[in-house]
Structure 1
Amino acid sequence: MESQDLPDPLRARVGQQRWRPAMYRMRHFMQSYVADSDGTEEIYAEVRRTVITDASSVRQDLEAVEMVLKDEHVPGTLLRLVEGDGNRALDHPSDAEAAAFLHALAQLLRSALDQS
């Protein structure tokens, strides 16, 4: 179901969520999809289920990942996003490795959206 098919009160709430900063949306995504998953296959399956019911939210998540990757951050920000909010241990903890993880996550989101 796309947001235009929702009742007015729910559509208003969806509209408010679209205006949240990219980092806020990313933290929510990492906590909701990544933190408790057993890996990329499980994340992909969950995202695909979401695409079926609300593809626009997955598009917003992809936009958030892309924006976070483009923006400049205080050193350690991407690392905290991945290891803290996403509960992912990186082999060589650094912002560069966290950025690589987020690039892979963006590709996963694109792939899930392409399958819809």
Structure 2
Amino acid sequence: METLRTFLATEFGDAASFGEVRTRQERIAQISVESHRRVLRALDAVIADPPMDGSLAHLVGWDGNWVLDDPSDAGALQFLREIADMLREIIADAGR
């Protein structure tokens, strides 16, 4: 969770849009995708066995400073899945 907490705070904390985060991650991937892989492993672990005790909602809403239409753990889990999909695409594109 600490890897995700840091990633969300750093990348989403003051971002204006999901697209802004994606653009930044694509630029970083031009140099290296190691950080993307590390975050993706953390995301996959949480997605595979999500805690449903309010911690995902707190992670996204508080640490990531991101407002979701559905601020529940279920909404946060969906948001984390979208981030994982984004990182998979960026890693795949960087490998081409």
Same-fold status (TM-score > 0.5): yes
Structure 2 match to 1:75: 53
CA RMSD of aligned residues (A): 1.2
Structure 1 match to 2:63: 85
The one-letter amino acid paired with 1:25 is: T
User: Within 2, Cα distance between the matches of 1:92 and 1:73?
Assistant: 17
User: Within 2, Cα distance between the matches of 1:97 and 1:64?
Assistant: 18
Moved more, 104-113 or 72-81: 72-81
The one-letter amino acid paired with 2:49 is: D
Rg comparison, structure with higher value? 1
5 Å matches for 1:35-114?
35-73=13-51, 75-114=53-92
Deviation, 1:74, is 5.1
Q: Percent identity?
A: 33
5 Å matches for 1:15-34?
23-34=1-12
**Which ranges of structure 1 fall in alignment gaps of 5 or more residues?**
1-22
TM-score, normalised by the number of residues in structure 1: 0.76
The one-letter amino acid paired with 2:46 is: V
**Which ranges of structure 2 fall in alignment gaps of 5 or more residues?**
none
User: Within 2, Cα distance between the matches of 1:100 and 1:72?
Assistant: 11
The one-letter amino acid paired with 2:12 is: V
The one-letter amino acid paired with 1:89 is: V
Question: CA 1:46/1:96 → structure 2, altered by over 3 Å: closer, same or farther?
Answer: same
* Count of residues in Structure 1 that have an aligned counterpart in Structure 2: 94
5 Å matches for 1:1-16?
none
User: Within 2, Cα distance between the matches of 1:42 and 1:98?
Assistant: 19
The one-letter amino acid paired with 1:51 is: A
